[in-house]
A and B are shown apart, each in its own frame.
Chain A
Amino acid sequence: MQEVTAQPRVVPEPKPKSYKSSSELKKRLWRNKLLYVMLIPGVLYFIVFKYLPMYGLIISFQDYKPYQGITGSEWVGMKHFSRLFTEPDFLNILGNTLILFGMNILIYFPIPIILALMLNELRGTFFKRFFQTLVYLPHFMSWVIVVSISFVMVTMDGGIINELLAYFGFSKINFLLSPGWFRPMYIIQVIWREAGWGTIIYLASIAAIDPGLYEASRMDGAGRLRQVWHITLPAIRGVIITLFILKIGSVLDLGFEHVYLLLNSMNREVAEIIDTYVYTAGLRQGQFSYSTAIGFFKSIVGLIMVVTVNKVSKKIGEEGVY
């Protein structure tokens, strides 16, 4: 590291925009060699666990046999992809995935915004802190815990919800095994676990609003609701749109764990989504190539969605995600 400290004093180095010569680049690379050493574990991680699986996607164009590996397996072109769109099973799970996604957008998405607006109107920082602490908490519980808590509450033998139903003279409901209750249970669990946590970013951008605006509007006689509508909401519009883009981008990516935990043989009709199907078809039934094709399809749709929505949002004058 001798030259590192000596160099700048002899030749005062301008912040280089383009490389004047390859020797200068070499010198800088050498000077930063320890930084490159630091990158090694991380780069290795991304190569092995992120980029190698991308390479592995080519098995969706093969009839992959575990013992023959990628190099030895037979190429079959688009066979598995064309199977996707002819299989009634697949259309059903695609539909299920889209319905759950729609519920996420229509029911869940506005809730953190409303919660943040309400929290912001709260007087006294103590209560604000207290509420935030309580509503953030569920985000840290795993889906297993969330699903378990709701299961002990709704179970037929002694769950509090069913006991309450019975107490008030209604008949008990088998929430876990009836297909009709899968979607409501799903979205309630999503809201319970994520709504509070979802307020963080909105609250932060609300905090950045100039208090003078509220003062001025009060002089003009605006009430609290008008202030929310004309000042707070427009001020966080950009953040809302950004988060909306992120949400749209994850259209087919609902997360495996949550749905997998709720899935059973009785509600499969409505509960099977792309992620759980990939697991069942791929790892349970050994259809590696077919389920990889499904995953590939999902990833491509996600990528296209993010890129498109981002472009659209830039066009209408918003910031976009990247």
Chain B
Amino acid sequence: MVEDRTISGRIFSAVNFTLLAIIALVTVLPFVHVVAGSFTTSAELAANKFVLIPKVWSLEAYKFIFSTNTIFRALGVSIGVTLIGTLFSMFITSLMAYGLSRRDLDGRRVFNFLVVFTMLFHGGMIPTFLVVKELGLIDSYSALILPSAISAFNMIILKNFFQNIPEGLEESAKIDGCNDFGILFKIVLPLSLPAIATISLFYAVTYWNTYMSAILYLDNSAKWPIQVLLRQIVVLASGMDHSATLDGSVPPPDQTIKMAVIVVATLPILMVYPFLQKHFAKGAMLGSMKG
């Protein structure tokens, strides 16, 4: 872009900057409000609604939610599913993406078509549920991982990335006696770190945010991940359907407690985001442009 120093150009810039600043503010304010609210007392929150920085700091809400095992258990489930799920998904996704990225593989067009077709047409919720049930996965943690182990979209992004690696590198490794697994793990993957980081983040976020699989496949509340627990505490207790979902005698939890649970359920993503942020814009584009 060329610098524009005319008066109208400057006015344009100023208006544009101001509008964007407001948009950015509106985007973060709700979350800042929740974080601030979680670190104060419920009395302070009730008396002083609009504070973005609380006058009285307190860990009361966090002490309360961590006083029982429930939230620890849910966090444990979410962390476990995220770690194991991401590793497993990355492993089988890279294997498949690498196989399909090789131009000399007979039948790759058929495989590619079969993968892309699943993005256009699918059996839907009930038939998938019946498959999961037939496999005996109901109420097992693997029901949170296996049915969504590969995302066709992520696989294609990775495949396109692998295709851009010069073939000469693979051939010379082959002459040195490296087999296909060796080439993938010693040459292709190390050269694809930005793509690997991006796709891992996508998988990790998906697993951390797992909600639908949990309500579909887990009946046992002891196995709930944090997102389902969050829904129990905030959504169901927010004055919706008191009669249907909540025992009238149990008062809904305080605002500060709800806010603290929201923060706990969001924090892990906020922590990995800055580290991976510089990669994912590049990675997301790779896939979506060439799809």
Contacts and interface: CB of A to CB of B under 8 A. Distances in A.
Given A152-B262, A174-B239, A283-B126, A42 B16 contact: no
A123 B20 CA distance: 12
Contact of A121 (B16, B93, B99, B124): B16
A292 B13 contact: no
Most buried by A among B2, B147, B240, B274: B240
B211 A292 contact: no
Nearest to B33: A160
Most buried by B among A5, A119, A140: A140
A196 B106 CA distance: 41
B17 to A, nearest CB: 7
B175 interface: yes
B111 to A, nearest CB: 7
A46 B150 contact: yes
Interface stretch (A52-60, A89-97, A101-109): A52-60
Interface string A115-158: 10011111100010011111111101111110111111101111
A1 interface: yes
A187 B37 CA distance: 25
B239 A156 contact: yes
A251 interface: no
B281 A200 contact: yes
Interface in B175-220: 175, 177, 179-181, 184, 205, 208-209, 211-212, 216
Interface in B213-246: 216, 227-228, 230-231, 234-235, 238-241, 244
B284 interface: yes
Which bucket holds chain B's interface residue count? Answer: 35 or more
Interface in B77-126: 92-93, 95-96, 98-100, 102, 104-106, 111, 114-116, 118, 120-126
Contact of B120 (A59, A158, A265, A303): A303
A299 B122 contact: yes
A48 B131 contact: yes
A35 B150 contact: no
Interface in A279-317: 279, 282-283, 288, 291-292, 295-296, 298-300, 302-303, 306
Most buried by A among B19, B49, B269: B49
A34 interface: yes
A67 interface: no
Contacts of B140: none
Contacts of B121: 54, 299-300, 302-303
A76 interface: no
Contacts of A224: 4, 8-9, 12
Nearest to B45: A158
A211 B244 contact: no
Given A25-B106, A38-B99, A160-B49, A201 B126 contact: no
- Interface on chain A toward B: helix, strand, loop, or mixed SS? helix
Contacts of A54: 121-123, 127
A142 B226 CA distance: 11
A275 B96 contact: no
Contact of A150 (B30, B92, B241): B30
B71 interface: no
A80 to B, nearest CB: 12
Contacts of A4: 174
A137 B28 contact: yes
B230 A201 contact: no
B149 A45 contact: yes
A302 B118 CA distance: 12
A214 interface: yes
Given A176-B239, A261-B235, A279-B125, A145 B265 contact: yes
A237 interface: no
A170 interface: no
A160 B9 contact: no
A42 B155 CA distance: 10
A40 B166 CA distance: 25
Interface in B27-41: 27-28, 30-31, 33-34, 37
Contact of A278 (B17, B124, B240): B124
Contact of A122 (B17, B95, B146): B17
B24 interface: yes
Given A41-B92, A152-B37, A322-B291, A275 B123 contact: no
A291 B2 CA distance: 57
A35 B102 contact: yes
A152 B34 contact: yes
A138 B125 CA distance: 26
Contacts of A136: 277
Interface string B264-278: 011001100110010
Given A49-B147, A279-B125, 9 more contacts: A32-B102, A32-B106, A45-B149, A49-B148, A56-B123, A135-B23, A140-B273, A148-B231, A266-B240
Interface of A: 1, 4-5, 25, 28-29, 32, 34-36, 38-39, 41-43, 45-46, 48-57, 59, 66, 115, 118-123, 127, 130-138, 140-145, 147-153, 155-160, 163-164, 167, 174, 176-177, 192, 196, 200-201, 204, 211, 214-215, 218, 223-225, 249, 256-257, 261, 264-266, 275, 278-279, 282-283, 288, 291-292, 295-296, 298-300, 302-303, 306, 321-322
12 contacts: A32-B102, A34-B179, A39-B100, A41-B95, A46-B115, A54-B127, A122-B16, A140-B205, A148-B235, A167-B49, A214-B2, A295-B124
